Homo-oligomer: A and B are copies of this chain.
Amino acid sequence: MKMSEGVEWTAHACAVLAALPRGIGLPAAALAEFNYLAPAYMAKHMQALARAGVVESVRGAGGGYRLAKAPEKVTLWDIVVAIEGEEPPFRCTEIRQQGPCPGTDFRKPCEITAVFRKAEAAWRAELKSVSLADIVIDVAKKQTPAHRAKLSEWLQEKLA
């Protein structure tokens, strides 16, 4: 069971967008460069984020993206849903209703599915508990002055 690599790419792209002043975006090519990705790969996944309402297009030279909401309002779960969809990882085909010994009461999920759903809820809760704003603060706290300066210089160039 693997998530699309696009989750990592878009999470990092969104973390960069979250560190910009409100309403400011970056050209799609800059986001690709930041992630060391081919622009077409990055573009495809940013479009998925836009469809999910996490980012929005910025018009103008080169085009680009900015966050569609405040960084406090976007969680890592929103990014997972945008790229992977909302369907739970465990697939239940209701085996209990088939075969030679079907049960009779199917209103609640079976005992096996119930455990997987509980595990998925715990996973989801962790991803919902961390916003892009939290990530930005956490990164800033650990960043060296040299790294901060380098990032700032790169952003100035791309925003120019």
Contact = CB atoms under 8 A, between A and B. Distances in A.
Most buried by B among A36, A118, A124: A36
B2 A101 contact: no
Interface stretch (A43-51, A54-62, A65-73, A84-92): A84-92
A119 interface: yes
Contacts of A96: 12
For chain A, the bracket of interface size reads: 35 or more
Contacts of A90: 3, 7-8
A29 interface: no
Interface string A127-156: 100100001001100111011001100100
Given A101-B34, A144-B104, A139 B115 contact: no
Contact of A120 (B33, B100, B123): B123
B8 A101 contact: no
Given A99-B33, A115-B76, A144-B104, A92 B8 contact: yes
Most buried by B among A35, A99, A125: A99
Given A112-B11, A119-B127, A103 B147 contact: yes
